[in-house]
Structure 1
Amino acid sequence: MALFPAGFAHVRLPAADGVHLSAAVGGSGSPVVLLHGFPQTHLMWRHVAERLAADHTVICPDLRGYGASDKPAADAPDVYAKRTMAADIVHAAAALGHERFALVGHDRGALVAFRAGLDHPETVTHLGILDIVPTLDMWQVLRGVSAAVGYHLFLMAQPPGLPETLIEGSADAFFGSFLDAWAGDPAALPEPVRAEYLRSSAAAVPSIVADFRASAGLDITHDQADLDAGSELAMPVTVVQQDWGAQLGYDAADVWRAWAPDLDHRLTGSGHFMAEESPDEITAAIRDLLTR
């Protein structure tokens, strides 16, 4: 059963440090790169990608460490830093002939997209962010018992060994719990898609943990350095997210305005997997972004 729309080719693209990414590429027109979240792969973009491909070249890679992309050993702190993962995307797009492109990310992919926007403002023309706040801000707003919603962030921040062992021992239960808890509409994740997410995540536990561990280490250092330097996202930015601010007690739009002067901040009634649950809404938000 083909899970991604017809008309998309699956390719291998050179990225940073000798890593190769697997990506689905289709359509024609100005390029848009779509980055997936956790615990998912590029497959999460299947509905939105098909819609955008009518008038854009759409590139949907698996992040390093996820899906069919390479999973290098985390033998240095920067292997899964968002700065490195952002460089992956710039290299991969260039391999397809795109020196400039719009970039949209969900969840973990949104953290990579955020870093790409700061590190490569000459390359990222428009930036779309789905359902996160930047890493530095995320750790600041997770306080008290309300932080239990992000327990996995604290688990995977622990030193190598224990998190990997615990997760590998019950991978389907662990990753499946997020698919169950975060989906506003479980029907948006049909069984073949869910099975693929569980299969690919179970096969990538060390690299997934390394990705999260970097967000409790080097990613914070990079964000803080940009904050201290007064760095901002120079391109138009659209953020679509659930009303996490109401749940955790902060103003999400204010958090984003500190980073993005040209901001369109939108709240959605969708669950976390909004590209699958509400593809028309997300496609419309991306199209609005691309006109700015």
Structure 2
Amino acid sequence: MTIDIPGFDYQRVAVDDGVALNVAVGGTGSPIVLLHGFPQTHLCWRHVAADLAADHTVICPDLRGYGASDKPDERDRDTYAKRTMAADVVALAGRLGHERFALAGHDRGALVAIRAGLDHPDRISHLATFDVLPTLDMWDILHGSSAAVAFHLYLMAQPPGLPEQMISASADAFFGHFLDAWVQDPQAIPAPVRAEYLRASRTAVPSIVADYRASAGIDIEHDRADQAAGNQLTMPVTVVQQDWGAALGYDAAALWRPWVADLEHRTTSAGHFMAEEAPDETIKVLRSLLAR
């Protein structure tokens, strides 16, 4: 049995040939799209979405390959490129009647949001990212024993076959590891929600792996092309991260500045799952961004 965000309407919206996204929509007013991370679904925004819906149209999709959205086979490198997934989001908003919208993403959803902002700057009014770095920088800062915290990135970067088999053989233990290791307050993800995340993830192993595999390949190529061209995110951007930059020996804000023309960088004491562990803080961040 799936769990819904109370008061939100659910629908499936076609965004590409053979691909429809499951999306929850609530509220009225200027639109904001909220993109979830790994290993979650749109449900991670349940607290934040309910608050923002008081004066915004809030759109919470499951990303391509996740949750109840379609999970196309990895036909080529483009199938789960962030460029493709960003185009899904822009198409979704357009089909719901919104040519311009604010966009916030956490984890994998933040990578999609960044790519949407770079590829479709005329469509994105404001952008927020939670607990990521741009893909190219993420790979550049991982080195030595500190990279062990990101073992899953290297596992899912491997060619098709082995990672899917290994993860499928113990899917609940694999996905549950991140839900447990990355949360500071386990009560923030109650048992029914945790069970829903595990159910959704175990039925989406190939597409989740394909999403990560793209970030070790074609997504890097797209980032490098933007970096070489000096392309930036031109809309107001708020970045929120745990203070793991200091722990890994780099200045996170400095890594963001070449990518963002109008940057507000924040750190938080919350764990990785910020929208669930610190919803009030997350709401405050988003409302502040939307006022810029």
TM-score range, shorter chain: over 0.9
What secondary structure, in the 3-state scheme, does the structure 2 residue paired with 1:258 have? Answer: helix
Question: Where in structure 1 are there 5+ consecutive unaligned residues?
Answer: none
What secondary structure, in the 3-state scheme, does the structure 1 residue paired with 2:289 have? Answer: helix
Counterpart of 2:221?
221
Are the equivalent residues in 2 in contact too, given 1:62–1:68 (CA < 8 A)? yes
Are the equivalent residues in 2 in contact too, given 1:16–1:84 (CA < 8 A)? no
What secondary structure, in the 3-state scheme, does the structure 2 residue paired with 1:236 have? Answer: strand
In structure 2, what residue type is equivalent to 1:259? Answer: W
RMSD after superposition: 0.9
Are the equivalent residues in 2 in contact too, given 1:103–1:128 (CA < 8 A)? yes
What secondary structure, in the 3-state scheme, does the structure 1 residue paired with 2:272 have? Answer: coil
Deviations along 1:119-168, one digit per CA (max 9) or x if unpaired, are 00000000000000000000000010000010000000000000000000
How far residue 181 of structure 1 moved from its aligned partner, in angstroms, is: 0.2
Are the equivalent residues in 1 in contact too, given 2:65–2:204 (CA < 8 A)? yes
Deviations along 1:55-99, one digit per CA (max 9) or x if unpaired, are 000000000000000000001100000000000000011110000
Question: Where in structure 2 are there 5+ consecutive unaligned residues?
Answer: none
CA distance in 1, matches of 2:2, 2:80: 30
Counterpart of 2:10?
10
Deviations along 1:210-238, one digit per CA (max 9) or x if unpaired, are 00000000000000000000000010000
What secondary structure, in the 3-state scheme, does the structure 1 residue paired with 2:261 have? Answer: coil
CA distance in 2, matches of 1:2, 1:204: 15
Deviations along 1:36-61, one digit per CA (max 9) or x if unpaired, are 00000000000000000000000000
Over the matched positions of the two proteins, sequence identity in percent amounts to 70
What secondary structure, in the 3-state scheme, does the structure 1 residue paired with 2:54 have? Answer: coil
Alignment of 1:94-243 (within 5 A): 94-243=94-243
Are the equivalent residues in 2 in contact too, given 1:83–1:116 (CA < 8 A)? yes
Counterpart of 2:276?
276
CA distance in 1, matches of 2:140, 2:4: 37
Structure number with higher strand proportion: 2
How far residue 2 of structure 1 moved from its aligned partner, in angstroms, is: 7.6
In structure 2, what residue type is equivalent to 1:287? Answer: R
CA distance in 2, matches of 1:199, 1:6: 20
Counterpart of 1:36?
36
CA distance in 2, matches of 1:185, 1:251: 26
Are the equivalent residues in 2 in contact too, given 1:12–1:22 (CA < 8 A)? yes
Counterpart of 2:92?
92
Are the equivalent residues in 2 in contact too, given 1:15–1:91 (CA < 8 A)? yes
In structure 1, what residue type is equivalent to 2:69? Answer: S
CA distance in 2, matches of 1:90, 1:282: 23
CA distance in 1, matches of 2:72, 2:16: 11
CA distance in 2, matches of 1:55, 1:2: 27
Counterpart of 1:25?
25
How far residue 13 of structure 1 moved from its aligned partner, in angstroms, is: 0.9
In structure 2, what residue type is equivalent to 1:82? Answer: K
Show structure 1 runs of 4+ deviating over 4 A.
none
Are the equivalent residues in 1 in contact too, given 2:31–2:57 (CA < 8 A)? yes
The two structures have a TM-score, normalised by structure 1, of: 0.99
How far residue 25 of structure 1 moved from its aligned partner, in angstroms, is: 0.3
Equivalenced residues, count: 292
What secondary structure, in the 3-state scheme, does the structure 2 residue paired with 1:234 have? Answer: strand
Are the equivalent residues in 2 in contact too, given 1:21–1:62 (CA < 8 A)? yes
Counterpart of 2:261?
261
CA distance in 2, matches of 1:249, 1:141: 9
